[in-house]
Amino acid sequence: MSEATMGTRLASRPDEPGALKATLQAIAGLMARDVRVLRRELASFLTRTVAQPLLFVFVFAFVFPRIGQDIGGAAGAGDFATILVPGLVAVAIIFQGIIAVALPLSNEFGGTKEIEDRIMAPVRVEVIAIEKILFGAAQSVLAGLVVLPMVVLVPATPVALQVTSWTLLGAVAVLSALLSGALGLALGTYVSPRQIGLMFSVVVLPLTFLGAVYYPWAALDTIPWLQIGVLANPLVYVSEGLRASLTPSIDTMPAVAYLGALVVSLALLTLLGLRGFVRRTVG
């Protein structure tokens, strides 16, 4: 039986008694395998996680205030550091999902063909894709926890950090991390391995600079067409959600708006990613 036929059989197999237990065991086994790989690559994980946020916060929130450079407009250096911190944590979360899911998928579909081993697991192929989302989400949460204290301590001016609702922060963090994994799955299944480098120029950079990372979304009201246009960017809702959760002194969009958008974006990207994964694995 060919691997493609086996994958098709697994994808279409009806539910059986104990299927849920088998699915959870398969996810746990795949997660354990990925954790072992991550432990061997812990140094590279930390490097890629902290490099960009550290550079941005060092230049914009430490160097610029020390040399008297005007940043943040009328907000001033202190307010700019407060605006910047949640945005950099959002970038770390989203980037980690892309790197943790999309790049390995590119290798598995391309050179290593490791995906053929994974789809031989006795579960539906969609389960393999869901595990990738969950593992990417776990790495995204870890990335956010690593980056947050760093970008709070580096700025030359105090950051007005205040958590008024741990429930809201938890909801935003979980939805953002899952969204990150789903985005990585969608990109990894629809972007050709030969074009994975181009993805960072065409997708990742626009996501960052138009993702309300360096400014609150409300500040774009002077450019109405842009303020509306960036609503297609899921990073906007991650940035706004974390900004509302960590720095309530900064005006953000209503909670129902960014939470609702995170849920809708997560659902759409998950469906898109699952469809692409099945298409790439079982044809």
Tens digits of residue pLDDT in 194-232: 777 777 778 888 888 999 998 999 999 999 999 999 999
- From the number of C-beta atoms within 10 Å of its C-beta (0-12, 13-18, 19+), residue 163 rates as exposed
Q: Which sign, positive or negative, has the C-alpha torsion 265, 267, 270, 274? A: negative
pLDDT computed for residue 57 by the predictor: 82
pLDDT computed for residue 16 by the predictor: 56
CA–CA separation, 210 and 1 (whole Å): 48
Higher-confidence residue of 123 and 100: namely 100
Structure tokens belonging to residue 115: 């995906």
Residue 272 confidence (pLDDT) above 90: yes
Residue 8 confidence (pLDDT) above 50: no
Structure tokens belonging to residue 180: 């990150």
pLDDT confidence tier of residue 115, bands split at 50, 70 and 90: low
SS3 127: helix
SS3 204: helix
Give one word for 228, left, alpha or beta, with left for phi > 0 and alpha for psi -120 to 50.
alpha
Q: Output the pTM of the full model.
A: 0.83
Residue 175 confidence (pLDDT) above 70: yes
Mean pLDDT, the chain, rounded, equals 81
pLDDT computed for residue 127 by the predictor: 84
CA–CA separation, 60 and 76 (whole Å): 12
Average pLDDT over residues 101-124: 70
User: Which is nearest to 156 in space by CA: 69, 224, 236, 219?
Assistant: 69
pLDDT computed for residue 2 by the predictor: 44
- Please report, rounded to a whole number, the percentage of residues in the chain having pLDDT higher than 90: 34
pLDDT computed for residue 104 by the predictor: 80
DSSP state of 18: T
pLDDT computed for residue 18 by the predictor: 67
Instruction: Count Cα neighbours of 34 within 13 Å in the Cβ-side half-sphere.
Output: 23
pLDDT computed for residue 61 by the predictor: 77
Structure tokens belonging to residue 129: 């894709």
pLDDT computed for residue 265 by the predictor: 96
pLDDT confidence tier of residue 253, bands split at 50, 70 and 90: very high
pLDDT computed for residue 10 by the predictor: 43
pLDDT computed for residue 249 by the predictor: 87
Measured from the Cβ of residue 86, the count of other Cβ atoms closer than 10 Å reads: 29
pLDDT confidence tier of residue 173, bands split at 50, 70 and 90: very high
DSSP state of 99: I
Phi, psi of 22, rounded to the nearest 5 degrees: -65, -40
Higher-confidence residue of 251 and 20: namely 251
pLDDT computed for residue 70 by the predictor: 56
